[in-house]
Amino acid sequence: MTYLLVLIAAIVVNNFVLTYFVGICPFIGVSKKLDSALSMGIAVTFVMTLTSIVTWLITHFILIKLNMPYLEYVAYIVVIASLVQFVEMFIKKTLPSLYKALGIFLPLITTNCAILFVALLQAMRSYGFLESIVFGFGAGVGFTLAIVIMAGIREQLELSDIPRPFQGAAVTLVTAGVLALAFMGFSGLLSA
Amino acid sequence: MRRMIIVLTSVMVLSGLVLALADTVFQPQIQANKHRALQTSLAAIFPKATKPQFKQLPIKKMTIYRGTDASGTLLGYAVGIVTNGYGGPISLLIGLSADLKKIVGMEVVEDSETPGMGARIADDWFRNQFDGLNPLQTITYVKNEKPDSAKNQIEAISGATISTKAVLSGLNSSIGEAVSLIKASSGQQESNK
Amino acid sequence: MTDITIEAPTKQRSILFEFAKGFVKENPTFVQVLGMCPTLAVTTTVVNGMGMGLATLFVLALSGLVASAVKRIVPGEVRIPVYTVIIATFVTLADLFMRAYVPPLSKALGPYVPLIVVNCIIMGRIEAFASKNPVVPSLVDAVGMGLGFTVSLMVLGALRELLGHGTLFGVDILGPGFRPMLVMVLPPGAFLSLGILMAAFNAVKDRNKLVLVGG
């Protein structure tokens, strides 16, 4: 039951983009077209879930066992960067069609605050192994949800007349604000 | 290729050394901060006491402090409880009267609850509700009505029921045990005299 | 009529220019749209914004300095991992320092401090500038960007704190009659404030360009 709570919380109640403000760069940058938004979302979900697993292992078997908590940030970022590198190479070799669809987004994901945030949070909240996997997956799904909705809205916005100062990132941010307002409605969801 | 590996490894080793050094430099102050925060929370549970002193009881299972004031009179006890809140672990200190029959205070030491909502467990009005409650009876919450303290009730924070429930679940599962442990410990001290 | 912009060739840009460009022309927040995550998350008060800005400035400056100093030793293929480790090291240092000497700020900024590691501004500056320029200009560039970033954060923080709490730097400005707009310090307010400020920034920039053209 806790797993379900963790999942729902990560997807809507504490949405990574709209509540925690992570993953904004790709959120603004890749939300122009619906299909690229979806591809980015799927890539992010995949990497987040993997990251959860690997950083959990690192936290518990290296940082804690060897009593070097101060290496946390360096260890996480190195692991994440390497993970993304391997994933990219792996997909390129085994599923070239998938690589064509998702591949270009993978390097972008490395410096994505959202991935590091997943690692940081699961350590901060002392999640168990299974819990952290569910958390990583949920965070990715939440990100995908936000970016896909945003892409849908922006595709419509393309057709309207936006005042010059607002064009570009500004209107996207304002739209995100309205979206965030809507998502706040979820905050009461888990008080049974 | 070899150059790449050498550079990478050196950077990592250097980083590790620098950080290990920094850790030894900064940790004493970080620990001192934690200690001071703890002292402040402990003192806040017994606000009327002058220069309270706290000693941790030699109990392994839980963190319990015995508070005495400047003249050596027993003030009461403070029990450290950690519970799982909405945004992460919540660290609480619960004050017990010297005769262990009443709760005398509740302090939130650390939390990651939502500001303006769950974080209001640290608000005065919420914490004061625990004063006078019976530590051996389950504490329950009510919503949108006046709580009956005779029935060990408190009013939940509207819109933050999860945080409220987290606090209560931590209390209900640990206080009873804390009381027994304290009694056993002071019983031992008595019999050691 | 086209815009008239007078720009000296890169080699001759003055140190002053390298420093000042971080404030307006290449402002990391409003022009380059970088470092969004901390910008939105910690600007609930001016002090928090300033704290984050200064911490980022510290990491920016030192990482830029070191990156520029080692640029000849580091082979091109491993430069990104090397820079990443350098940045992460300085972020950890900043974090340890803050937890030791300004614990309330450290608590307020929370998990967003380690996120400085992936703040695109830092890697962006190293890649674009520090890795290709000598040490002193790199430092100046980094400090300029860092200060520009800090100012942007403080402006955003001021807007949100003033409207959301009625205070600035914790000091009550608008008086007891003011009903605070809580939304300003919550996520929607963050997005809206930044979006509007960005639009305002763009509008002022556009107007200045028009003046050059029309005049």
pLDDT in tens, C8-45: 445 556 777 777 777 777 787 777 777 787 888 888 88
The whole-number pLDDT of residue A192 equals 34
DSSP character at residue B157: P
A5: in domain? no
Continuous H helices in chain C: 15-20, 36-42, 46-69, 79-101, 103-109, 120-125, 135-165, 187-214
Query: Which tens digit of pLDDT belongs to each residue from B10-60?
Result: 888 999 899 999 989 998 998 898 888 888 888 888 887 777 878 888 888
A191: in domain? no
Residue A7 in this model has a pLDDT that exceeds 70: yes
State whether the Cα torsion C47-C195-C34-A31 is positive or negative.
Answer: positive
The predicted model gives B91-119 an average pLDDT of 82
Query: Which tens digit of pLDDT belongs to each residue from C78-137?
Result: 788 888 899 999 999 999 999 999 988 888 888 888 888 888 888 888 888 887 888 888
C190:A177 CB<8 A: yes
Residue A134 in this model has a pLDDT that exceeds 60: yes
Tell me the chain A residues in contact with residue B86 when contact means C-beta distances shorter than 8 Å: 190
Continuous H helices in A30-128: 34-58, 72-94, 96-102, 105-110, 113-124
ipTM of the modeled complex:
0.77
Confidence of residue B183 (pLDDT cuts 50, 70, 90): confident
The whole-number pLDDT of residue C101 equals 92
The whole-number pLDDT of residue A188 equals 57
Under 8 Å between Cβ of C149 and C29: yes
Residue C7 in this model has a pLDDT that exceeds 80: no
Read off the pTM.
0.80
Residue boundaries of the structural domains of chain C: 30-214
The whole-number pLDDT of residue A71 equals 85
Q: Which of A15-29, A166-180, B74-88, C48-62 has the highest mean pLDDT?
A: C48-62
d(CA B77, CA B93) in angstroms, rounded, equals 10
- CA distance to partner chain B, nearest, from residue A164 (Å): 36
**Among candidates C185, C181, C163, C182, which has minimal Cα distance to C173?**
C163
The whole-number pLDDT of residue B66 equals 86
The whole-number pLDDT of residue C214 equals 41
Q: Which of A28-32, A62-66, A133-137, C13-17 has the highest mean pLDDT?
A: A133-137
The whole-number pLDDT of residue A137 equals 92
Query: Which tens digit of pLDDT belongs to each residue from A158-192?
Result: 888 888 888 878 888 888 888 888 887 776 565 43
When comparing pLDDT for A76 and C208, which is higher? A76
Tell me the chain B residues in contact with residue C93 when contact means C-beta distances shorter than 8 Å: 18-19, 22
Under 8 Å between Cβ of A34 and A152: yes
- CA distance to partner chain A, nearest, from residue C14 (Å): 30
A169:C198 CB<8 A: yes
Residue in C74, C81, C96 nearest the CB of B22? C96
A189: in domain? no
Residue boundaries of the structural domains of chain B: 45-192
The whole-number pLDDT of residue B43 equals 84
- CA distance to partner chain B, nearest, from residue C92 (Å): 7
> How many domains are contained in chain A?
1
Mean pLDDT of chain C, nearest integer: 82
Query: Which tens digit of pLDDT belongs to each residue from B120-172?
Result: 888 888 888 888 888 888 888 888 888 887 888 888 887 777 788 888 888 88
A123: in domain? yes
Task: Choose from C27, C32, C37 for mutation: most chain A CBs within 10 A.
Answer: C37
Residue C1 in this model has a pLDDT that exceeds 50: no
Residue A103 in this model has a pLDDT that exceeds 80: no
Copy the structure tokens of residue A133: 């996997």
d(CA A108, CA A88) in angstroms, rounded, equals 11
Percent of chain C with pLDDT over 70: 91
d(CA B136, CA B152) in angstroms, rounded, equals 10
The whole-number pLDDT of residue B193 equals 44
Chain A, 12 to 71: residues with Cβ < 8 Å from chain C are: 18-25, 28, 70-71
DSSP labels, C77-102: GGHHHHHHHHHHHHHHHHHHHHHHH-
Residue in C44, C81, C97 nearest the CB of B8? C81
**Among candidates C119, C66, C64, C59, which has minimal Cα distance to C90?**
C59
The whole-number pLDDT of residue C72 equals 84
The whole-number pLDDT of residue A15 equals 82
When comparing pLDDT for B113 and C154, which is higher? C154
Please give the residue range of the domain that contains residue A130.
Answer: 12-184
Residue C173's φ and ψ, nearest 5 degrees, are: -105, -45
Copy the structure tokens of residue C213: 């053209």
Rg (CA), chain A: 17
The whole-number pLDDT of residue C92 equals 93
The predicted model gives A107-134 an average pLDDT of 82
A21:C40 CB<8 A: yes
B19:A71 CB<8 A: yes
